[in-house]
Amino acid sequence: MLIKNGLTKANKRISKSSSGQSKNSLPSQISARYGIQLRITRLITPMRKCQFIILYLLLAIPLITSAQVQVRLEPRHKNVFENKYVRILDVHIIPGDTSLFHIHSTPSFFLRYTNSNVWTQTKGQNWTQSLRAPGEPSYDSFLNDTLIHRVTSSDTVAFHVTDIEILAPYHSSHQIKPLPLEVLLKNEKVFAYRVSNSSMDQKIISKRGPIIAQLIEGDKVLVHDKKTKKTEEIKKGGYLYIKPESSFYFTAPVDEKINLVLLEIK
């Protein structure tokens, strides 16, 4: 009976509240109370969001600017080809842009396509200008120490270079001696050659290790495969991977200056 009377009284209070007859009813008080809380929440929430964003930026910006990744994961180093022997990273840095700090720890062959004004900064050191002509290669084994650096372009044209990481030797069944071409560099892992107009004599190249051909100067070069009877084209700024033990020769348009660089894996 007490419960019944209590429910009856509560129902009456709710009925008055819903009809607007009592402004001091419990539901009205609760509504007013939560209305105030909701209004306070609306004031606090944007403030908290702003504080959170500021805190996030203060923490994130130093991490972003000092972040270091393996070179193959750096956004400007595009992995355009990879197999068991090599990984070709095609690098483009537009004027005013700077790469992330990235780590070089794999033997690498570098070849510039452009004569761009670029600067590099080894982590913890000052910026230094990087001077190297298009078609002039360099090689670093990174065996004794890894390199952590970043690169910026201060030129009016984009910087274009390839970083070819040497992943494994070829291990030919026969001894590989240098080709009768201009030898740019040679070491325990690679040969690098230059093919120019004077050496573009359609002489067949065969029984070699994997070769990456890169065209620095000239409109195009054609690669003729003697085994498959197929012809492939290398355009300026491009490359072509030639499988080991292929048999092929090069041709190019007459009277066009050619600067073709070959990298051969031993």
| pLDDT digit string (tens) for the chain, length 266 residues | 333 444 444 444 444 444 444 455 555 554 555 454 444 444 446 566 656 555 554 554 444 445 689 999 999 999 999 999 999 999 999 999 999 999 999 999 999 999 999 999 999 999 999 989 999 999 999 988 899 999 999 999 999 999 999 999 998 888 889 999 999 999 999 999 999 998 888 899 999 999 999 999 999 999 999 999 999 999 999 999 999 999 999 999 988 899 999 999 99
Those residues whose C-beta lies under 8 Å from the C-beta of residue 108, and which sit 6 or more positions away, are: 139, 140, 142, 163, 164, 165, 166
Q: How far apart are CA 78 and CA 162, in angstroms?
A: 9
Q: 3-state class of 212 per DSSP?
A: strand
- The CATH superfamily holding the domain 68-166 is Jelly Rolls (2.60.120.10)
- 182-265: which CATH architecture? Sandwich (2.60)
